[in-house]
């Protein structure tokens, strides 16, 4: 293949992966979609005028196809669904904008149809104009604008509302892990906001709550019950990390890895906890 075309693909690979992850909520599926785009690119005409636009168009359509094919599988998912965690080391500057990969934001995208999701991401996140989005999706500009308007209604309140100092957020996350390990319910009460939520995704393959826990008391009841029954897995090691833009930990239990990410409110308390235990979503965790 012509080296110039290979270079053009490599120059856009990072952008394509970021688009595909936001579309699919999965690191592994995003990589597969980009690989499929590469296969299509190898067969593309040699006179493509705008390689970047061609590649974005191909990747978007591949992601839409994947979302439609996975609809029944998502509907049958056991327990709450969380996106595959996007993990970045704390010591490095973040590649991703936190508000664009936050769990709340990606869950809001899940409520959109594949077309609504594509329009919103292409226009509002990746700054394509409506004419280009319309060409990508083979829809009229008017239809694309209508899809974007509907999508914004769902996504409007999903972006993080509070900027939290990284060190403070990590301190709170560590304090939660320590208090949970000691079954210190008083300490946990001080750390959790009254309306905090906890979402645990085991996918039916690891022990996890089968519903979203809503409110501090609901979370405490679960943790206390697990301690009483000695049902908590044994913690072997953990490492701090940036998970979907949030402070959290990559955790290794005796029964496999997990990630736990913490969202904070404006008063310095934990407002949301997101734990992924489904091993199929943690294949990229070392």
Q: Which domains does the chain have, with CATH numbers?
A: 1-76 (1.10.1740), 103-159 (1.10.10.10), 166-281 (3.10.450.50)
Mean pLDDT per 10-residue section of the chain, whose length is 286 residues: 80 96 95 96 85 95 94 88 92 77 91 95 94 95 96 80 79 94 94 96 92 97 89 86 93 92 91 96 84
Q: At residue 87, what are phi and psi to the nearest 5 degrees?
A: -110, 130
Would you state the pLDDT for residue 286?
Answer: 60
Handedness of CA 182, 250, 273, 83 (dihedral sign): negative
Would you state the pLDDT for residue 161?
Answer: 66
Contact 119, 133 (CB under 8 A): yes
Whole-model pTM: value is 0.89
Q: Which pairing describes strands 235-243 and 270-276: parallel, antiparallel, or unpaired? A: unpaired
Contact 279, 256 (CB under 8 A): yes
CB burial readout 156-193, b (16+ within 10 A) else e: eebebeeebeeeebbebbebbbebbeeeeeeebeebbb
- In whole angstroms, give the CA distance from residue 127 to residue 113: 20
Would you state the pLDDT for residue 72?
Answer: 82
* CA triple 30-26-31, angle to 5 deg: 20
Would you state the pLDDT for residue 162?
Answer: 64
């Amino acid at each position: 293949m012509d080296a110039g075309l290979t270079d053009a693909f490599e120059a856009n690979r990072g952008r394509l992966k970021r688009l595909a992850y936001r579309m699919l909520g999965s690191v592994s599926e995003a990589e597969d979609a980009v690989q499929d785009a590469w296969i299509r690119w190898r067969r593309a005409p040699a006179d493509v005028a705008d390689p970047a636009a061609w590649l974005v168009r191909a990747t978007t359509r591949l992601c839409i196809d994947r979302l439609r094919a996975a609809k029944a599988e998502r509907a049958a998912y056991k327990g709450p669904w969380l996106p595959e965690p996007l993990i970045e080391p704390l010591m490095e500057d973040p590649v991703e904008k936190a508000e664009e990969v936050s769990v709340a934001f990606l869950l809001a995208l899940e409520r959109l149809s594949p077309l609504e999701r594509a329009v919103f991401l292409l226009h509002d996140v990746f700054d394509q104009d409506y004419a280009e989005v319309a060409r990508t999706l083979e829809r009229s500009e008017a239809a694309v604008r209508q899809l974007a308007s509907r999508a914004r209604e769902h996504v409007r309140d999903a972006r993080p509302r509070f900027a939290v100092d990284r060190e403070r957020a990590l301190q709170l996350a560590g304090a939660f892990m320590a208090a949970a390990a000691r079954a210190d319910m008083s300490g946990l009460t001080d750390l959790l906001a009254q309306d905090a939520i906890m979402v645990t995704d085991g996918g039916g393959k690891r022990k996890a709550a089968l519903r979203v826990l809503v409110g501090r008391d609901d979370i405490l009841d679960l943790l206390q019950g697990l301690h009483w029954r000695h049902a908590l897995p044994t913690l072997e090691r953990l490492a701090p990390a940036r998970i979907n833009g949030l402070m959290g930990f990559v955790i290794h239990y005796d029964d496999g890895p997990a990630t736990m990410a913490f969202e904070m409110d404006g008063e310095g308390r934990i407002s949301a906890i997101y734990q992924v235990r489904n091993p199929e979503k943690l294949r990229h965790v070392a």
